[in-house]
Amino acid sequence: MGKFRGVDFYDVDSLLSEEERAVRDTVRSWIDERLMPIIGEHYVEGRFPKQLIPQMAELGLFGANLPEEYGCAGLNNVAYGLIMQELERGDSGVRSFASVQGALVMYPIYAFGSDEQKRRWLPRMAAGEVIGCFGLTEPDYGSNPGGMITVAKETKDGWMLNGAKMWITNGSTAQAAIVWAKTGALDDVNSIRGFIVPTDTKGFSAKDQKGKLSLRASDTSELVLQEVCVPKDALLPKSSGLKSPLMCLTQARYGIAWGAVGAAMACYDEAVSYAKNRLMFGRPIGGFQLQQARLAEMLTEITKAQLLCLQLGRLKDQGKATPQQVSLAKRNNVSIATDVARETRRLLGANGILAEYQAMRHLANLESVYTYEGTHDVHTLILGQEITGLNAFN
Amino acid sequence: MKIAVCIKRVPDSETRVKIAADGKSLDEAGVKFILNPYDEFAVEEALRLKEKAGTGEVVVIALGPPAAQETIRTALAMGADRGVLLQIQGLHPDGLETAKALAAELRDAACDLILFGKMAIDDYNHQVGPMVAELLDLPCVTTVAHLEIAGGKGTAEREIEGGVEVVEFPLPAVLTTDKGLNEPRYPALKGIMAAKKKPLDVKPTAPGPGALEILSLTPPPERQAGKIVGEGSAAVSELVRLLREEAKVL
């Protein structure tokens, strides 16, 4: 496999700064050299490539858009997005790992934590010494996180947590979990607060979810919290209500919108190369109109998604991006990426089902990405509410 | 320990280069330029020597167009301390004139070591390093695959046909680096951000015209499709016949 050269039909590169391109190119070659040779095998065997964590940390991939004073790279949001794009060009599981660590674990500590918590956790998380996970979703509360039944009761010395969380990326790898729980009545979504829970605390257990046919190179776990007692300073003091975890999700969804473009680029790249080289009826299949229609469609959608991300990133850097704009990008980009992966899989014919090629791995992964961090349908309703002012959720 | 590393901006080896309309230069549109891969070994080695010594300075010097600043910043992002661009317009084809410009810059720089990649992957000349050594009257070891520096002298290993040649040399010296010397680091994201703030001197330079002039560039002829003559031992006699009569190599 040659070096990945990206997809850039509209000279989007000229809209990026020198540093933004340098960041992207560094991550791109790292993925080429360190992930691509091993990802197929890890995927088939259902293993996250843990051995890459120290290298990811050394590159500065964790919480890369958080400030330097906490050991982070202090990048702007466009550069951060480009990192996510390149990681997911490799595999959605690897991008998920970095998304969770940065946007769902380090970000809430940065946004809702005390100075002491920030100083204690962020540098070690940036260095990859502490891996985190994010516990919001529960077995019966996915699209409706406000319904959660995990509770935190104040005790003499701190808090006692009880409940269960599901679909938790990095759950069994993590040394620290950001757990969201209700501190008041079960119908009081405003009582939701965030807690930093060390995973070796008594009563905390994580079990890998088996039988996944998607995101196989990523750990997904179920967390059980049974009378887990944590000190007072485990509480994220500035977290308040459901909007706090939703703010984290907006960060992660922003990265996903970029990541999906990366997965789509990987598939398109594979489709083009296959179409030019695969001979059928004595000529390259790329010379047939049906395959050309596929490729034209893919290039069009990737180019649109790319520009969408870039403008969203620029808005975010100006502090102007809204959660609804992030929803539009996540919804569109993951959906088109899934289509691109599926069409690539089909263009590749029988070869398209092999792990040796990327398309089916990306396709299977993207089905999860389509569903997590706000399903496609939930983002549709968020946009519907934005457009009409009417809530269609319940 | 003060180390100078001379680097070059070259087209990415994966880029499909196109010849410009004038027939003697490259069309740079859409071409990605990178730090010459052999120079990456030189930068990495310089950084390791500095880190091992715990003190010192790594200066990267390039002769090239304004855009070569970006190439210098790649080396700064890897960890070099400062950069110097001997700025020219376009590309300069003459190795000796390039060497003279670099030597002039390096003459009073009081470096302990001057490192080069063994060659640039655009013109494959292998010239500039040894020429600079000659102009500065310094010892030179080319294609270094292993290096030790201690007590004011160095020991270098060069891979030669069927063996390894070990060379001892006094400092200061000029070395050109080969693949295998080290594994260059990735520029970390923090390094990329820090590179913006490191000093980069741009010095307009006008090397002499030199003896070399590019008259025309042509792509290599398109490769012919191969031929499979058969399988197994039955095909051997046909293969030998074709090698003798068609390819005329036997």
Distance from the A64 Cα atom to the nearest Cα atom in chain B, whole angstroms: 8
Contact list, A74 vs chain B (CB under 8 Å)? 190, 193
Q: What is the mean pLDDT of residues A329-356?
A: 97
- Chain B: residues touching A (Cβ < 8 Å): 12, 14, 32, 70, 73-74, 77, 186-190, 192-193, 195-196
Identify the pLDDT of residue A48. 96
The rounded mean pLDDT for chain A is: 97
Query: One-letter amino acid identity for A19?
Result: E
Neighbours of A50 (CB within 10 A): 12
A323 and chain B in contact, CB less than 8 A = no
Q: Is A30 in CB contact (< 8 Å) with chain B?
A: yes
Interfacial A residues in 61-80 facing B (CB < 8 Å): 61, 64, 68, 73-75, 79
Q: How confident is the model at residue A1 (pLDDT cuts 50, 70, 90)?
A: low
Compute the average pLDDT of residues A18-23: 96
Q: With an 8 Å Cβ cutoff, are A59 and B186 in contact?
A: yes
What phi and psi, each to the nearest 5 degrees, are found at residue A270? -65, -40
Lowest-confidence pick of A36-40, B19-23, B69-73: B19-23
How much is the pLDDT for A73? 94
Q: Which CATH superfamily is domain A132-234 in?
A: Butyryl-CoA Dehydrogenase, subunit A, domain 2 (2.40.110.10)
Predicted pLDDT at B244: 92
**Contact call for residues A65 and A75 (beta carbons, < 8 A):** yes
> Nearest CA to CA, how far is A154 from chain B (Å)?
41
Report the residue from A22, A75, A83 with minimal CB separation from B77. A22
The CB density around residue B137, as the number of other CB atoms within 10 Å, is 7
- The residue in chain A having the minimum alpha-carbon distance to the alpha carbon of residue B75 is A22
* Chain B neighbors of A73, CB-CB under 8 A: 188-190, 192-193
Q: What is the pLDDT of residues A65-120, one digit of tens each?
A: 999 999 999 999 999 999 999 999 999 999 999 999 999 999 999 999 999 999 99
> What pLDDT does A344 receive?
98
Question: Across the interface, do A26 and B187 touch by the CB < 8 Å criterion?
Answer: yes
Q: What is the mean pLDDT of residues B184-207?
A: 94
Split at pLDDT 50, 70, 90, the class of B21 is very high
Contact between chains at B187 and A3 (C-beta distance less than 8 A)? no
- Which residues, other chains included, contact A56 with Cβ-Cβ below 8 Å and sequence gap of 6+? A62, A97, A98, A128
Inter-chain contact B190–A18, Cβ cutoff 8 Å? no
Which residue ranges form the domains of chain B, and what is each CATH number?
A: 2-204 (3.40.50.620), 220-250 (no CATH)
Q: Give residue A227's pLDDT band: very low, low, confident or very high (50, 70, 90).
A: very high
CB within 8 Å: A5 and B190: no
Active site residues of A: 373
Confidence of residue B211 (pLDDT cuts 50, 70, 90): confident
**Is-contact A330 A379, C-beta < 8 A?**
yes
Does residue B193 surpass a pLDDT of 90?
yes
- Assigned CATH for A243-388: 1.20.140.10
Q: How far is B126 from chain A, CA to nearest CA, in Å?
A: 25
Task: Kindly report, as residue ranges, where domains of CATH 1.20.140.10 are found in chain A.
Answer: 243-388
- Residues of chain A in contact with residue B78, where contact means CB-CB under 8 angstroms, are none
Which stretch of A252-256, A341-345, B219-223 has the lowest confidence by average pLDDT?
B219-223
> pLDDT of B107-160, one tens digit each?
999 999 999 999 999 989 999 999 999 999 999 999 999 999 998 899 999 999
Average pLDDT, chain B: 93
- A58: closest chain B residue by CA: B188
Determine the CATH number of domain A12-126: 1.10.540.10
Mean of the pLDDT values across residues B201-226? 87
Cross-chain residue pair A58–B188, CB shorter than 8 Å: yes
Position with higher pLDDT, B58 vs B242 = B58
Q: A with B: how many residue pairs have Cβ under 8 Å apart?
A: 48
Query: Which residue of chain B comes nearest to A12, CA vs CA?
Result: B30
In angstroms, the separation between the Cα of residue A277 and the nearest Cα of chain B is 13
Dump pLDDT digits (tens) for B178-189.
999 999 999 999
Which chain B residues are Cβ-neighbours of A23 within 8 angstroms?
A: 189, 192
| pLDDT confidence of residue B227 | 82
How high is the pLDDT of residue B34?
Answer: 94
C-alpha A201: how far from chain center: 27
Nearest Cα of chain B lies from the Cα of A108 at a distance, in angstroms, of 22
Interface touch B189/A68, C-beta < 8 Å: no
- Contact residues on chain B for A2, CB-CB shorter than 8 A: 14
Question: In 3D, which of B121, B115, B129 has the Cα closest to residue B10?
Answer: B121
Q: What is the pLDDT of residue B13?
A: 83
Burial of B109 (0-12, 13-18, 19+ CB in 10 A): middle
pLDDT digits (tens, 9 = 90+) for A133-187: 999 999 999 999 999 999 999 999 999 999 999 999 999 999 999 999 999 999 9
The answer to whether B189 contacts A61, with C-beta atoms less than 8 Å apart, is yes
Strand order in the sheet with B2-7: B163-170, B153-160, B140-150, B173-177, B113-117, B2-7, B57-64, B82-87, B200-204
3-state secondary structure of A206: strand
pLDDT tops 70 at residue A41: yes
Kindly list the residues from chain B whose CB atom is less than 8 angstroms away from the CB atom of residue A4.
none
Question: SS3 sequence, chain B?
Answer: CEEEEEECEEECCCCCCEECCCCCCEECCCCCEEECHHHHHHHHHHHHHHHHHCCCEEEEEEEECCCHHHHHHHHHHHCCCEEEEEECCCCCCCHHHHHHHHHHHHCCCCCCEEEEECCCCCCCCCCHHHHHHHHHCCCEEEEEEEEEEECCEEEEEEEECCEEEEEEEECCEEEEECCCCCCCCCCCHHHHHHHCCCCEEEEECCCCCCCCCCCCCCCCCCCCCCCCCCCCHHHHHHHHHHHHHCCCCC
Q: What is the pLDDT of residue A325?
A: 98
Average pLDDT on B229-245 reads 89
Joined together, the tokens standing for residue B114 give: 């001057």
Higher pLDDT, B17 or A370: A370
